[in-house]
Amino acid sequence: MKKWIWQQENYPNFTYDSKKLENLIQKISLEQGYLIALTQTMNKDNIIQRQAEALLNEAINTALIEGEVLNRDSVKASIAKKFGFRDIDYNKIDNSIEYLIEVLIDANTNYDAKLTQERLFAWHGAIFPKAYDKFNAINVATFRGEETMQVVGGYAGNEIVYYEAPPKSILEKEMQTFLNWFNSTNDDLIKACIAHLWFVIIHPFDDGNGRIARAITDLVLSKIENSKISRLYSMSSAINDDRKGYYKALEYTTGYIKKEDNFLDITFWCEWFLQTLYKALIDAKDRLNFIIIKTKFWDKNRDKNLNSRQIKVLNFILDIGIENFKGNLSKKKYMSISSSSSTTASRDILELLEIGCIKQVEGTDGRNISYEIVI
């Protein structure tokens, strides 16, 4: 029985319902345009700050999807070094994390370079510099070995095969077909959907296939956007937020979930992928708007003689996001954030009111009085 998608007649001639995807593609294009417009209102330092944050989230989440937890401080140190930031803690830099960062940056910036077998091998070698995945030795910078490649779940004695990849005997041919298609096809959102899925279907490596598939996705998106905005959002973060949906979409499309017909129809996968990309763009828009609001606030209040406690409290609220700071600012919260006494907190709040940094929330007074930042 031909169960898996790569066993079907006419594979890899994938089909999809373009009408079902049309609205999503339009929404994504609008958000991409909005992000580009937003960046034109921001200064270079703020854009670099957001790029570093997005890269941090991408590195952590592309590993987390595969069950690998990276040290956040090590990732931050490696990114700080790459961006040339000051105050780098070199003791926290991990070479293997540095190599992963290099892969992500390469995918996001060198989008005009062809995707070749050599480039994929270089990425794979960078992700696994020690030729080990945890305690298991793996083939690095080369295709997987002769053993059947299966994605297995469940528990000992009751294993479930969620997917079985094409055998080693046809692997090189499969990869050459994929690379020829990738390098000769115009870059658009559907190509991003197909490229990610197709690479996962082939599963050419012992490990790291998901991470490299997501780097390939970044490569296509960066080409579409001329790298103007792709480094401002993290697709892997959005995928990790819906990891169950990710694997369900793959299982439904690649053959684990049985379909009666239309075995090569990938509309379900494309819908999930595009919805996830849309969420990533919305998240980036919210984060950029937050940076703009914070910059606007400090531009207006930079010359005011604020003490360290007041600056700490205001930054605390701005960093969380005004809409996420539950219950507005009270004296009790001020005391907690600034580690100050009741008398000091009252004096600081009064000063902030007088200079217009905060205002009393309408309808609150007495013991229940609260304040909000004035943007």
Looking at the fold, whether 219 and 356 belong to one and the same domain comes out as no
What is the rounded distance in angstroms from the CA atom of residue 134 to the CA atom of residue 96? 13
277 closest CA partner among 181, 165, 340, 190: 190
Containing domain of residue 320, as a range? 304-373
**Boundary (domain end) residue, out of 291, 320, 349:** 291
Looking at the fold, whether 264 and 333 belong to one and the same domain comes out as no
Lowest mean pLDDT among 99-108, 113-122, 150-159: 150-159
Looking at the fold, whether 262 and 116 belong to one and the same domain comes out as yes
Q: Is 141 helix (H, G, I), strand (E, B) or coil?
A: coil
What is the rounded distance in angstroms from the CA atom of residue 342 to the CA atom of residue 347? 9
pLDDT per residue as tens digits for the range 167-215: 999 999 999 999 999 999 999 999 999 999 999 999 999 999 999 999 9
pLDDT at 151: 87
What is the rounded distance in angstroms from the CA atom of residue 192 to the CA atom of residue 225? 12
Looking at the fold, whether 178 and 327 belong to one and the same domain comes out as no
Identify the CATH number of the domain in which residue 229 sits.
Answer: 1.10.3290.10
**Boundary (domain end) residue, out of 270, 291, 312:** 291
Residue type, 4: W
Mean pLDDT of all residues belonging to the chain: 91
β-strand partners of 154: 159
277 closest CA partner among 22, 3, 24, 23: 24
Quickly state the pLDDT bin for 237 (edges 50, 70, 90).
very high
pLDDT at 327: 67
pLDDT at 322: 66
Looking at the fold, whether 229 and 195 belong to one and the same domain comes out as yes
Looking at the fold, whether 279 and 343 belong to one and the same domain comes out as no
Quickly state the pLDDT bin for 132 (edges 50, 70, 90).
low
What is the rounded distance in angstroms from the CA atom of residue 359 to the CA atom of residue 261? 63
What is the rounded distance in angstroms from the CA atom of residue 338 to the CA atom of residue 346? 12
Quickly state the pLDDT bin for 353 (edges 50, 70, 90).
very high
What's the average model confidence in pLDDT over 234-261? Answer: 91
What's the average model confidence in pLDDT over 80-98? Answer: 87
Q: How many domains does the chain have?
A: 2
pLDDT at 121: 96
Which tokens sit at 120?
């994929």
**Boundary (domain end) residue, out of 261, 291, 321:** 291
Lowest mean pLDDT among 2-6, 196-200, 220-224, 254-258: 254-258
- Residue 299 resides in a domain: no
The pTM of the full predicted model, rounded to 2 decimals, is 0.86
What's the average model confidence in pLDDT over 256-281? Answer: 92
pLDDT per residue as tens digits for the range 334-351: 999 999 999 999 999 999
